[in-house]
Structure 1
Amino acid sequence: MSVRRIAFVALIYMSFSISIIFSNKLVLTTFKFPSYLLLALIQTLFTFILIQTLCSYRIRSDDFTEVPIKILPLSIFSAVDIVMGIAGTGSLSLPLFTALRRISNVLIMVGEYLLLGTKRSIPIYLSVIVMVIGAVIAAIGDITFDPIGYTYILINNISTTGKALLTKSRLRDYDFSSVELLYFNSLLMLPILFILVYVQCDFTEIIQFEHWLDPLFLLYFMFSCCSAVALNYTLVQCTQYTSALTTSILGVIKNILVTYGGMFVGGDYVYTTLNFTGLTVSTIGAVLYVVYNYKSTQSKSLPTKSRTLIGPLT
């Protein structure tokens, strides 16, 4: 893939990452939609239907019997990831949510080293540690501590790590295309999410939800679903052509906007000096990672005259 194509995919990924976080926040917090599980199910169903409608000709069906064995572990992690991500968005303020999500980068970095053999320079390791230290400081300064919300984020970080590493390995080892992986993953996620919705959801509360006929709510709701499709596709593309950690860090960079813009969305951010300082330290760590990763990429590309925008998998 060319440098321009990688840059375009990265830009689209970050754009839809931002839009889905804000739209999910508005749906769950501002409009108080009663079920994050149903929202996760609808987003996944929307993704599956759209791929089935527009891209079915790009899906191989001759060896479908082997697909569940190859994809099911990824689907389980993906189902947990989307559910906990949406639940965390609704439970915590966006600045704190984004800071705590950066802890997943350390887990991914360790997983890449142990499972994929990826090694990185000391400055890159240190920049990721700065991100995590900032997140810890922000959490200490959080006077609205919600143990359930923090639990959601902890599980979300673990599931994000598993999802990122499994996506990379499935694309590398089983020769799936981005569209095929997204299609089969969505297909296998649906039964898991259907069961969770059936067991956990209060359907009376959902049916009686007061904003079903509100045009603004419907706009945010549909935008959330559309963003989910684009986000999932570009996420797989980024992971396929870069590293799992780099894809995660791209998400961190877009979260710079979410961190500070999110202070004014949802109405649930409470400022404290310690919390704001932690958020800023974590953001500085994200910027340092980009700088060090770019320098590392440039030094590795000089001998072969090959230029890549994002750090290669070594």
Structure 2
Amino acid sequence: MILEKFVEEHKGFLVAFGYGVTSVSITFFNKAVLSYYGFDYSNALTLGQMLFSLFFLVIMKHFKMISYPDLNMDLIKKLSSLSLLFILMVVSGLAALAKTNVPLFSALRRLSTLIVIIGERILLEKKTPADEIQSVVLMVVGAMIAGWGDVTFDFIGSIYILFNCFVTAGYLIYIAKKSKETGLNTFGLMFYCNIISIPATIVLTVITEGQGLLQYENYSNLGFQFCFLMSSVQAFLLNYFIFLCSTYNSPLTTSITGQIKSILQTIIGLFMFGDVVLSLVLVYGLLLSTLASFWYTFIKYRQTINRARGA
């Protein structure tokens, strides 16, 4: 009874905390699977995440915890292009993480925010405040400096991150459009993206990684099994917590939590896997990008306060 009362009174904070923790931890579980255990098969990990997400969505709908329309061919046709972006986003993100260290991965992915701003201006004619653009540009400049100072810099990994930023930006812009066209909620979009994407991901995995998967030797390793399972489960939990955070809290809370987790991810990643060689330029770039994140969060907070006063 006491626990239920505590959860009810603090559910907003608990959901935001859950989102932050899950968002940070999934990156490290993914990195552990791909690098520490040498499972260099990002497509197979993507497939595992999709299957677990689909499983949880079906189970939660069965117990009436969530709702979305049953399988519909018309919706499949409408969402096929979104599902393609979804596959490319997940696959390229994991491939990039396998080849770069966590701090640089976290920093360089901030480029997607700048691409979203440009895309919204061109496609949706949405204007972004100048100070917000400036803070995002500083994030990106800091990330570029960090990349320049990273002696473990991987060119192919950076190309993957760049591609992932463009695909992620396209997915975020397009998901808003498709949500309005179909009337689907977050879970409906997740269900259809996963169910459309799984067959193509199976084919991609078999063609590109089939032989390696047959020869991989750590399947019986309990540590690998745990990390793979946690990575797959948290892929769903992350989307679920984002939905809950936007429901129980404001978009500002979600935005601030996202920035805080990105900063924590960078700090922890500097020391966790031992794949970061510190240099003055790298530290300066990461610091600049992190401070720009704080500035961006402050701008969003000020915008919310001004809107509240205007109302």
Coordinate RMSD, CA, aligned: 2.4
Verify: 1:183 aligned to 2:200, yes or no.
no
User: Cα distance, 1:66 vs. partner?
Assistant: 1.3
User: Cα distance, 1:255 vs. partner?
Assistant: 1.3
User: Cα distance, 1:246 vs. partner?
Assistant: 9.3
Is the partner of 1:133 in helix, strand or coil? helix
User: Cα distance, 1:70 vs. partner?
Assistant: 2.0
User: Cα distance, 1:179 vs. partner?
Assistant: 1.3
Question: 1: CA distance between counterparts of 2:278 and 2:127?
Answer: 38
Task: Using the TM superposition, name which of 43-52 and 166-175 deviates more.
Answer: 166-175
Deviation per CA, 1:135-190, whole angstroms, max 9, x where unpaired? 11111112222111011101110111011112222223321022111111111111
Question: 1: CA distance between counterparts of 2:253 and 2:87?
Answer: 22
Is the partner of 1:221 in helix, strand or coil? helix
Change (3 A) 1:272 1:148: same
Verify: 1:216 aligned to 2:213, yes or no.
no
Change (3 A) 1:198 1:239: farther
Change (3 A) 1:298 1:249: closer
Is the partner of 2:27 in helix, strand or coil? helix
In structure 1, the residue matched to 2:7 is: none
Contact residue 9 and residue 234 of structure 1 kept, 8 A = yes
Is the partner of 1:55 in helix, strand or coil? helix
Contact residue 104 and residue 146 of structure 2 kept, 8 A = yes
In structure 2, the residue matched to 1:131 is: 139
Verify: 1:59 aligned to 2:65, yes or no.
no
Question: 2: CA distance between counterparts of 1:10 and 1:163?
Answer: 23
Amino acid aligned to 1:164: L
Is the partner of 1:59 in helix, strand or coil? coil
Alignment gaps of 5+ in structure 1: 305-314
Is the partner of 2:216 in helix, strand or coil? coil
Question: 2: CA distance between counterparts of 1:8 and 1:163?
Answer: 28
Contact residue 105 and residue 248 of structure 1 kept, 8 A = no
Question: 2: CA distance between counterparts of 1:87 and 1:188?
Answer: 21
Question: 2: CA distance between counterparts of 1:35 and 1:61?
Answer: 32
Verify: 1:68 aligned to 2:66, yes or no.
no
Q: Which structure 2 residues correspond to residues 179-258 of structure 1 after superposition, within 5 A?
A: 179-203=187-211, 205-235=212-242, 251-258=258-265
Is the partner of 1:32 in helix, strand or coil? coil
Question: 2: CA distance between counterparts of 1:17 and 1:257?
Answer: 10
Question: 2: CA distance between counterparts of 1:242 and 1:87?
Answer: 32
Question: 2: CA distance between counterparts of 1:170 and 1:76?
Answer: 13
Question: 2: CA distance between counterparts of 1:236 and 1:166?
Answer: 17
Deviation per CA, 1:229-259, whole angstroms, max 9, x where unpaired? 111333456689977x996775443111111
User: Cα distance, 1:84 vs. partner?
Assistant: 0.8
Question: 2: CA distance between counterparts of 1:36 and 1:87?
Answer: 6
How many residues align? The count is: 298
Amino acid aligned to 1:26: A
Change (3 A) 1:233 1:73: farther
Change (3 A) 1:29 1:259: same
Amino acid aligned to 2:152: T
Contact residue 16 and residue 253 of structure 2 kept, 8 A = no
Question: 2: CA distance between counterparts of 1:249 and 1:160?
Answer: 19
Verify: 1:120 aligned to 2:135, yes or no.
no
Deviation per CA, 1:9-56, whole angstroms, max 9, x where unpaired? 544333211111000011111111131110011111111112112214
Change (3 A) 1:210 1:85: same
Deviation per CA, 1:253-277, whole angstroms, max 9, x where unpaired? 3111111100122221111110111
In structure 2, the residue matched to 1:303 is: 310
Contact residue 75 and residue 189 of structure 1 kept, 8 A = yes
One of 19, 22, 27 as aligned partner of 2:25: 19
Question: 1: CA distance between counterparts of 2:111 and 2:36?
Answer: 27
User: Cα distance, 1:218 vs. partner?
Assistant: 1.3
In structure 2, the residue matched to 1:310 is: none
Question: 2: CA distance between counterparts of 1:268 and 1:249?
Answer: 28
Alignment gaps of 5+ in structure 2: 1-9
Deviation per CA, 1:93-128, whole angstroms, max 9, x where unpaired? 111111110111100112223334433322211111
Change (3 A) 1:196 1:145: same
Question: 1: CA distance between counterparts of 2:129 and 2:246?
Answer: 20
Question: 2: CA distance between counterparts of 1:17 and 1:271?
Answer: 24
Question: 2: CA distance between counterparts of 1:14 and 1:242?
Answer: 15
In structure 1, the residue matched to 2:4 is: none
Amino acid aligned to 2:115: L
Amino acid aligned to 2:59: T
